[in-house]
Structure 1
Amino acid sequence: MGATTALYGLAVTAWPDLLAKPSGLADEDGAVGAATRISLRPLAWRDAASGLAMLVAPEGPALRTATAVRIAADLGDAALLGLTLPDRDRRIKAVAVSVGWGALSVVGLLGRRGPR
């Protein structure tokens, strides 16, 4: 999950349209404005950083903390995008994707538990 999250974050940092267009943040003609690109890059960089933290954290408290931060970010995305995206269908999809990412992180975290 860490590697996937980091790669996704790096991709959206480089190409914010990957997130802007499916989220309905593009103009009617499909163009993504400079302000939207600027606003999405830090969000994507956060994903890259949290994914990298998950990838390199050793088993134990560090990995659990990195994963908890990632889950919190995904749930925050679900809440904020679900409340603020301009189109109802896109809000529903954004919530589903955000909760899905968070759920995958939860599954990964629980799946790593072994004897202590």
Structure 2
Amino acid sequence: MPSLTSVVGAATATFSAGLVVVPRVLIGTIGMPDTAQTRALLRAIGARDTVIGLAMLTAPGGRVRDLAIGARVLSDCADAAVLPAAVPDRGRAAALRLSAVAWAALALAAAVWDRRAR
């Protein structure tokens, strides 16, 4: 049975790869302006998170996996702090912030769960 961290990593990689291919899905959902710059930004975030998700999925337990989880948590916290400023609608900006924090919490909870299961 795969670790919970691997499952969260697979979900991260899958969603993020989709964001690289079709950034407009998230642009429409969060209400950011649909510009070439916004699409490039979301593709870059998607590429970053695809790599982090694959690292969470494939890294052996221990320090390497902990580093991958740390990268996920820190990047989500940075996203929560910075990205909502680019969303004109305050409600959608708050939802974006909450979503980023929730993903960070999920990754951290998965890591704690897996460590206790060892």
Counterpart of 2:79 in 1: which secondary structure? helix
The structural deviation recorded for 1:25 is: 1.2
Residue of structure 1 in register with 2:5 after alignment: none
Matches within 5 A, 1:1-116: 1-26=8-33, 32-114=34-116
Runs of 5+ unmatched residues, structure 1:
27-31
Deviation at 1:115, TM superposition (A): 7.4
Structure 2: runs of 5 or more not aligned: 1-7
Identical-residue share of aligned pairs (%)? 35
Query: After superposition, what is the alpha-carbon deviation per residue over 1:8-42, rounded to whole angstroms, capped at 9, x for unaligned?
Result: 1100000001211112114xxxxx33232122111
Structure richer in helix, relative to its length:
2
Alpha carbons of structure 1 residues 33 and 69: separation in structure 2 relative to 1, 3 Å: same
- For residues 83-104 of structure 1, the C-alpha deviation after alignment (integer angstroms, 9 at most, x for no partner) is 4422210111001100110110
Output the TM-score relative to the length of structure 1: 0.88
- Aligned to 1:59, what secondary structure does the other structure show? coil
Letter in 2 for 1:113: R
CA RMSD in angstroms comes to: 1.5
Paired residue secondary structure (2:32): coil
**Displacement over 6 Å in runs of 4+:** none
CA distance in 2, matches of 1:115, 1:25: 41
Bigger RCO (CA 8 Å, 6+ sep): 2
